[in-house]
Amino acid sequence: MTLRIFGDGKSGNCLKVKWTAQRLRLPFEWIEVDILKGESRTADFLAMNPAGQVPAVILEDGRALAQSNAIMLHLAEGSVLIPADPYLKAKMYEWLFWEQYSHEPYVAVARFQVAYMGKPVESLDGKLVERGHAALARLENGLSESGFLVGDRLTLADIALVAYTRVAHEGGFDLARYPAVKAWVGRVETALGID
């Protein structure tokens, strides 16, 4: 059985799982799920992932797994995308946890509201915008001494964080304000072969 990835091709959380599988050269089948049409709320989908969210995967052995960072960690276990050094591995986890708590809820939500709901940037909640900029500033600071977030090479931290950062402009965030972030996005996109 081939790995099956259920995802929305516009979702950064879904794309980071796809990019991880591609980077690791894992064979997989992509099943597009249109969340705006409620396709993640069908009985079949909920049987696989009761949270009704994408991404979700069916592993080669038939077991289901959800949550983007958990899927990435499972797929990349033992690979070069996870540092062998315990401290660097913990730093990668630090970025992964921060991404879901302090980056995605602001940068991705602003993007969704503007790009998919048609909300004008000027009408976004001020706190959402402020926290989005704070997240991008944190990334800028984190990239001030290295070309990647952990050590000197691509890890899951970069894949996870580039997913929504690269499209932050779709939520009204100008990456020109964050030159280290903008350069890093280019490096990660090149490494992953995405444009």
> What does the pLDDT look like over 26-54, one tens digit per residue?
999 999 999 989 999 999 999 999 999 99
Work out the average pLDDT over 103-127. Answer: 96
For residue 145, the model assigns a pLDDT of 87
Instruction: Report phi then psi at 30, rounded to 5.
Output: -95, 125
Work out the average pLDDT over 112-132. Answer: 96
Strand 3-7 relative to strand 28-32, pairing: parallel
Kindly indicate the confidence band of residue 195, based on its pLDDT and cuts at 50, 70 and 90. confident
For residue 1, the model assigns a pLDDT of 82
